Structure 1
Amino acid sequence: MTFNVKDLGQYVARLYAADNFEQAFNILHDQALKLGYEGVLYTYIPQILLESHFSRAPVYHVSDGYSPAYLKHYTEARFDQNDPLIKAVMGGVQEPVEWWGEINKQYMAGNKASREVIATANDYGISNGITLPLMSSAKGIAGASFISSERCHFNTLNNENLAMLRLCTELFHKFIIADASCVGYFLKPLLDSLSKTERLFLIGLAQGKQPSQIASKLNKSEKYLEQLMLKLRRKFSNSPVDTTPTLNRNQILYYVGLSGLLENID
């Protein structure tokens, strides 16, 4: 199916009228279906999850046609740590990456764990996929993947509709990354890991308040806040108690501010 300027205008109008991430994603999904693809995955992984050794997996959002069962397996097995597609995006690849194409093979070469990621997708019936890199910056990485069940049909789709798919997906991504509530959807692993006191502590530090001021407001001692910062450093570094955390105070504040985490703290 070919799209004209009118179709694209209607897509943009619907997208920018969306009230939340779920609505925006459904609009992208509808557009992908119209273009002939069967399933969609989108993710934004904040840099703090990439740079640290944070224990919780990133957030991925998929349509029903993408195989939620595979996503569950992927998340539980922490395939994100060896996914060649993520490595490609992090490596600065900008062109579309076919899952069994040469670019992806380069990132799987010599790495059994990376090959397992794609092989397992095939086990779940996902034999044809293409990933569109959307962002690789100080904020983090983002990408969207689209699948189809028939190889010949998939090649035809990519030849005829990939340019429009890329444009629609890039518009979607720009909408998401500019909206604090949408970004917050992907910060949930971080937000859920923080206690109310930890959240208020980070807010106070980000606002430039002195430890004594924060301690007074929280009705805690400065010594307590020192221990709280050490706990946060260990949490974000995923460091054992008896080791020195890999992230320091300034790094945590930098990544927290850069990711937009504070905008999503209640």
Structure 2
Amino acid sequence: MLCTRCRIRTAVTDDGLCALCSGTRPLLPGRPVVPVIGPGGWGVGTWPRSPVGLSRAVVALLGTVIATDLAALASGLHLRGLWTGYADDGDPAVLGSRGQGAEVLYVVVGGAQLAAFLATAVVFVIWFHRTRRNAEVFDLSAHTMGPGWAVGGWFVPVANFWFPYRVAAGSWRASSPVDPEGVRLPVSRAPLNLWWAAWAVSLILDRVAARMWDRAEEPGEIVDSLALVMAADALDIVAAVLAVLFVRALTRMQVARAGLHAQRPAAAV
């Protein structure tokens, strides 16, 4: 059985504490101070803070991202149909009120997409940083990048395709379950790897599609650019779904490592 306080070492006392937490063995020089449990199980300082509430907010916001992407697909399909009719058959509908209405709707939905993305990004980064800080409590040696990169890594050009993944990989590794002896058990990184791959590809495709859309002038070019934008929206939906799975999986592992599932069952993800 693991120590009920640090959740890292094996319990050796009747009250479920390890030798270090029970005070029967002094701290070694250079070792971090033993975490102290805060009120309600989750505390401050070196004790992990619950990521459950933030994870639920992230999942809900990712749902809005998916909804706006679906709306963009529908409005884009309608607009592309009008432009295809004009490019192939010379149907002037896209030049009239129908076309203007379709373009206005497409722009409005695009604004909703941007708003949903920005709101989700803010809350996601807050959750991401919290899980990174929590992971330090579980296993300080599992990380290759500091917790500040959980925020800053997203804003470094080019490196933002790699730094956040390294942070997430460290959090995933540190939050993995352990056996009664404190040895880390292997856990598949599939949720992390699939989400990151889909996110990176969708980000690249979105930038290419946006540039192609801005440069399109001829009807055929507009039709092709709309198709690429719609493909980017579809891939963004896939990335959002995989992000939900990743957020829930990492949150669930951290709750289990902190012992919250045994103390407060209602907080389980």
Taking structure 1 as the reference length, what is the TM-score of the superposition? 0.24
Which has more strand, going by share of residues?
1
- Greater Rg by CA: 2
